[in-house]
Amino acid sequence: MGKHVVVDPITRIEGHLRIEAILDDNNTIVDAYSSSTMWRGIEVIMKGRDPRDVPLLAMRICGVCTGTHYYTSTQTVEHALGVVPPKNARLVRNLIQGSLYIHDHVVHFYHLHALDWVDVVSALKADPAKAAEEARKWASMLKDPITGETIRPWKDGVGEFKAVQDRLTKFVKAGRLGPFANAYWGNKSYKLTPEQNLVAVGHYLDALQIQREMAKLMAIFGGKNPHPQSLVVGGVTCVQDIQNPARLGHFGDILGLSREFIYRAYLPDILMAGTVYAEEALAGIGRGLGNYMAYGDFRMDDNPWYQGKTLFPQGLVLNMDLTKVYDVDQSKITEDVTHSWYEYKGTDKPLHPFEGQTNPKYTGFKPDGTLDPKGKYSWIKSPIYDDHRVEVGPLARMIVGYARGDERIKHYVDWLLKSGNLPAKALFSTVGRTAARAIETALMVDVMKEWLTELAKNVAAGDLSTWTEYDFEKLTKGKELKGYGLTEAPRGALGHWIRIKDGKVENYQAVVPSTWNGAPRDYKNRMGAYEASLIGTTLSNPDQPLEILKTIHSFDPCIACAVHVIDTKGKELGVYKVEPVGGACFI
């Protein structure tokens, strides 16, 4: 047996994640374990509260996709109460959620993921003139999917690249790599040329500025970013903002700038990386489970509750077979705790979120300080869909949409694949996961413009309604209600489930994208998506687990939200009194 590699902390993610990998003598990963090492207990905190107050709390599940949990939770309560928000609210929510997508994806690619592909130090050796040529080359391979015009590069001035390089040189000379210090520079698995690296580093720095602009998109109708505040059960509160032409105009301007950056920098960079790393993609490095699931999201019409058309269709694709798509049915979702630091009372079977239990049972690490994969080893549960382990995320959304023959998605996916001269099968890989996210960003920034126009038109036509009235007392008094919110967070399928009894939250459960992807093994000893994706990857230097980071980052882990809560019954803290509810917090 070769080495046992431990990576803790995995950095450049949100939350706390530990990966352990077992290598064979060729430094190829033959086994891997993914463990979340933090949890907070937000679901149990929901219990007993007024359901109308829950979305603000649920938003704090994550500081990155804040708006997504907010929106999902609001929808969960609305579903339970049977309240359908008006058109303006739907459009505003789409715009807020859409702005989160483009912001999140750009930040993820450049600031969290790019350093796995891009060797910053190598860029010092680049010839700025050649870098400018390089920038032109990749951009020119792309045609605008709407106008058909050839894309102009974000920057292609020799002077501009020279400036980037000068700045880097100064930093390196001063011994101040800052956040770039002690990384894996020079590692063999970096494949871009110095010029290509310089192009990417230039965009990395520009993206720092652009993302701040993008964050304002959320603030315009949401109040602030992160943690917007304008969603309420029944609608949105920003009625002043939607009738203010200056605000709509501001939104449109930033959207335009965002599109420029996405089309002229992000996409050419993806094309460049995808081409240089094409071999890996075609070999399926980082593919993982091969099962993809999407709940579907972004309502395109005002039909109530899961009966309307969505921008991303729902569906399940098994075994990379694009010829078949199954409908997703939320009742087939369960969570298993065989290898998670929890125990179920009265059953060993995986449980549906409505009946979920979360009793902590921490068993710790092995005496040598490593995870115990035979026992329990993570604060994440293992979700199972209809007896399948599945991957969720942008790749799943693009694959499900593609397999469903969705015209818009097919158009964008084919467009990028064709530009890079790659077959669809290249998508089933680490590279593919990263490319799918970029494709989705392009699609999103375009569809957001349509929503903005729709909103402006609707308001101009005199519709100012932003909230649907409902009688909370009447709806909830003496009753037990159930509801769920199924959406697509930037990182994938997100579900919240609520049970309301007599106007109070009886039970709240969230099964989030990083639970699906980052989960440990299940009762059949089947791996979670992160784990499976690492198998077969060879490390060029086991002391520098760069390939592990690359594949794990391609999922855009976001672990704060992936961890479950405790039933205080399960752990005697002594200080608090909680009425035990029917076996556990989560009936």
Partner 1 sequence: MQFFDREHLRSIFTKPTNYINTNRGKEYYDNLYKKMEKRLNELKAQQPVKEAEIKFQELLETWELSRRDFLKWVSATTAMLMLPPQFEPLVAQAAEVMNRVPIIWINIQDCAGNTEALLRSASPTVDELILEYLSVEYQEVIMAAAGDQAEENLHKAVKDFDGKYLLFVEGSIPVGMPEAFTIGRHPKTGVEHVKHLAEHAAAVIAVGACACFGGVPAAYPNPTGAVGVMDIVKGKPIVNIPACPANPANITGVVIHYILTGELPELDSLLRPKFAFGYRIHDNCERRAHFDAGEFVEEWGDEGAKNNFCLYKMGCKGPFTFNNCSIVRYNEGTNWPIGVGRGCIGCSEPDFWDKYATERPLADSDIQPPGLHGVEATVDEVGLGILTATAIGIGVHAVASAIAGKKDETKEEQ
Respond yes or no: is residue 572 known to be catalytic.
Answer: no
Sheet containing 492-501: give its strands across: 480-489, 492-501, 504-511
- 42, 100, 201, 532: which one binds partner 1 (CB under 8 A): 42
Residue 223 contacts ligand SF4 per CB under 6 A: no
Q: Cβ-count burial of 74 within 10 angstroms (0-12 exposed, 13-18 middle, 19+ buried)? A: buried
- Residue 235 makes contact with partner 1 by CB under 8 A: yes
In the complex, the smallest distance separating the C-beta of residue 449 from partner 1, rounded to whole angstroms, is 19
Select from ligand SF4, partner 1, none the partner in contact with residue 138, using the beta carbon and a kind-dependent cut-off of 5 to 8 Å. Answer: none
Number of residues that bind ligand SF4 (CB under 6 A): 2
Q: Residue ranges of the alpha helices (H) in 262-391? A: 267-276, 278-282
Q: How many residues bind partner 1 (CB under 8 A)?
A: 110
- For residue 546, how far is the Cα from the chain centroid? 21
Interface with partner 1 in residues 62-91 (CB under 8 A) = 62-64, 66
Options 14, 20, 488, 506, the catalytic residue: 14
**Is 558 noted as a catalytic residue in this protein?**
yes
Selection from partner 1, ligand SF4, none that 413 binds (CB < 5 to 8 A by kind) is none
Residues 55-74 that bind ligand SF4 (CB under 6 A): 60, 63
Catalytic: which of 35, 99, 514, 533? 514
Q: Is 238 a catalytic residue?
A: no
CB under 5 to 8 A by kind: which of partner 1, ligand SF4, none does 50 bind? partner 1
Q: What CA–CA distances, in Å, run from 484 to 15, 335, 392, 487?
A: 25, 16, 18, 10
Given 20, 280, 558, 585, the catalytic residue: 558
Active-site entry in 16, 18, 69, 433: 69
CA distances to 95, 202, 485 from 258, in Å: 14, 16, 29
CA angle 133, 135, 138 (to 5 degrees): 105
Compute the least distance from the CB of residue 232 to ligand SF4, in Å.
15
Residue that has been written with the tokens 């100012």 in this structure: 464
Site for partner 1 in 407-446 (CB under 8 A): none
d(CA 415, CA 281): 18
Omega before 55 within 30 of 0, i.e. cis: no
Residues 89-108 that bind partner 1 (CB under 8 A): 107
Residue 43 is a catalytic residue: no
Can you tell me which of 234, 268, 490, 528 binds partner 1, judged by CB under 8 A? 234
Residue span 466-505 as binding mask against partner 1, x where in contact by CB under 8 A, dash where not: xx-x---------------------------------x--
Task: Specify whether 491 is catalytic.
Answer: yes
113 tagged catalytic: no
Whether 585 sits among the annotated catalytic residues: the reply is no
Q: Which of 26, 147, 182, 323 binds partner 1 (CB under 8 A)?
A: 182
Query: Distance between CA 99 and CA 104 in Å, rounded?
Result: 8
**Can you point out the beta strands (E) in 490-527?**
492-501, 504-511
Contact (CB, 8 A) for 335 and 353: yes
The verdict on 540 binding partner 1 (CB under 8 A) reads no
Decide: 219 and 229 in contact? Cβ < 8 Å.
no
Strands 359-360 and 382-385: unpaired
Q: What's the token pair of residue 2?
A: 């070769």
Q: DSSP letter string over 136-153? A: HHHHHT-B-TTT-PBPPP
Beta carbons within 8 Å of 209's beta carbon, 6+ residues apart: none
Residue 65: active-site member: yes
Assess 281 for contact with partner 1 (CB under 8 A). no
What is the binding site for ligand SF4 (CB under 6 A)? 60, 63
Tell me which residues are annotated as active site: 14, 62, 65, 69, 491, 514, 558, 561
